[in-house]
Structure 1
């Protein structure tokens, strides 16, 4: 090979990358070859592997004027450059590694949806047109019953006109139709009219004071629920559930709520002596506490939902007892049920946050 010589750092073209197959440690023959090159001695053909080690480590480069001539570089400066290069590589790799969990979460959602869409028991429906079309198709084929939990509030005239035709056809086929609403729909004239018409055709309606989730169950084989998989998902997104165990469980939840609810045939609400609905004396937060109380929910669950400590919730309930003059929790619940406050619809409700007391 050509004779080698020592050149200043700035006058050489240097390669700092690590070639495949070479580690970060130089072999003893490579170190001896470095001294040989630094002394300006030639490199033998059989020393080519050791020369590759030195070039990969960045302590030997090739002359710009004579590309075949290896040049020994000042080792301290060369290794500082090499170290900086490796640290930059490691930093980039660490950034990639730190992003892996977030990427995995995003991919997991897609993977789970794909698995469910392949027939594992649920199918994600992301577009409102697709959701409505699927519900219409399943309801049109109902043979035994349709159970609907609708906490969203009064019906619009447009929705009523669409639903009258669809549901009346199901009732003519002998399908049992049960729908659960929030208690506040009793004050809406359009929903009153809807309930009177459909009750006359054989449908059943009840209203519930406490909150509940939206879903539709058809023949205990199909269920439609909102999307709880992806946080902040659009309201129109839904899942079509066909897992028999899950649908059966949901039907049981509906039955429990149905038995606690009050029958309604579309009649206007009778006002009690306490005054109109607007004459309330409780705050939205207090009404949430009272609704959970009459629903039989444990206080620890209510406290967790509202962001309180159990001690804070207990103090809030004591304040309510004093305000209503109730001597016990059952009496407080009874006074709440007889008051106009229970007819107020606070949805959506945002809980007040309070430090633990």
Structure 2
């Protein structure tokens, strides 16, 4: 064991020093051990009391001070530390009830919103934080329209964590993009990853209206469509929500699934790897992605190819010129 390795297991620095000295020189008396550890006798006695209480050393008349076997000590310390951590986790979990009090505070604040059920959120950072909050508390569905074509790196990085978290929680996600967004490889790859995780993505030519709708109960739209950086309006009023949902449904019906002839770069890599590599684990490792993501891409590719199994998918991909 290297020096100070036991501190994360709850052992103080002077306790570890004495224990190590007793390991290196078993059977020393108190005065000799104090000298070996660089402590005075009184300090050593206090440390030894703690070590004996923890079962790390034993003292016996005529045998001096003997360190307990390191395997036994380490197992005891790990078990004790894990018990402490589990108790801490339980205390943290038990404290989650505080969210109810915080939500009450939030609702009290929201009562100050305009009577028509619309709140203003100004500034890009506050808008992003509000979107994250609404997505976190959504339970069923997230509908979105992104009208400005390709997504910037900052936009993808800002949305990715919340999007993936929502999909892991089982939310239905429907996203509409402008068709020319697919001309940007970074955007196409991000949309491919969303689809692989279960999101539904469609594209539409022509003008679109930016919107996010959470559980068909709350919506977020830009304060000024021509200058989205100014801020956003969070809509709660049922009549306005209904109108936005109707508009979204019209866009969705008119939109098309992502271009069937378009393959994102990651999909091209997965397809080529699937042909060469038999085991999914090896294929995922070669591409540097998780097995779950790798299999998600394969499942999506098979759906696009109308194939029921991989061999049929390979033949269909060759017919389309994808291989």
Give the TM bin, normalised by the shorter chain.
Answer: 0.3 to 0.5
Q: By percentage of residues, which structure has more helix?
A: 2
Q: TM-score w.r.t. structure 2 length?
A: 0.44
Report the TM-score, using the length of structure 1 for normalisation. 0.40
Structure possessing the higher radius of gyration over alpha carbons: 1
